Amino acid sequence: MTGVRELFAGAILALLVTVAERGAVQLVDASGARDAPALVLVLLLAAFLGVLTAVATRMAGLPGATAVTVLVLGWTIVPRVLAAIPAPAAQLFGSDIGLTGPEAGALAVATVAAAVTLGVPAERR
């Protein structure tokens, strides 16, 4: 039963990561930030999302590798699945395109942030 719980929790976390990532990018776009400031904002928000994902994974008692897996799935697979759903709400967070340069960099930053957060020993938290 533990595997089913981890799978379900990972799927929910991946969906939340997708919504948070798309929302953050749309907020940065709406802010009017251009070029370098927009990239810096997206990278900072991605690092924060990575830390939040790692903390949620640890709080749920899931294995550490789940956080990194959830981030990658939330950035790559889930948007394509949401794009296939014809509902307007799903289309808002769905995407059929590959990762752009800034999105790939943001994913790398989020993944490193999650890995670093999970690597901190328990007595230091």
pLDDT tens for 2-49 read: 678 888 888 899 889 988 888 888 888 888 888 788 888 888 888 999
Instruction: State the pLDDT at residue 97.
Output: 61
124 pLDDT band (50/70/90 cuts)? low
pLDDT of residue 120 exceeding 50: yes
Distance CA 75, CA 103 (A): 8
Q: Does some domain include residue 109? A: yes
1 pLDDT band (50/70/90 cuts)? very low
Domain interval for residue 84: 2-119
Determine if residue 18 is left, alpha or beta; phi over 0 gives left, psi from -120 to 50 gives alpha, anything else beta.
alpha
Distance CA 94, CA 11 (A): 16
pLDDT of residue 96 exceeding 70: no
Distance CA 2, CA 51 (A): 24
Structural domain count of the chain:
1
Mean pLDDT of 113-118: 85
Mean predicted lDDT score pLDDT of the chain = 82
Instruction: State the pLDDT at residue 21.
Output: 86
Instruction: State the pLDDT at residue 59.
Output: 87
Mean pLDDT of 101-108: 83
Instruction: State the pLDDT at residue 65.
Output: 81
Q: Does some domain include residue 124? A: no
CA 79 and chain centroid, separation? 11
Q: Does some domain include residue 54? A: yes
Q: Alpha-carbon torsion 2, 93, 102, 16, what sign?
A: negative
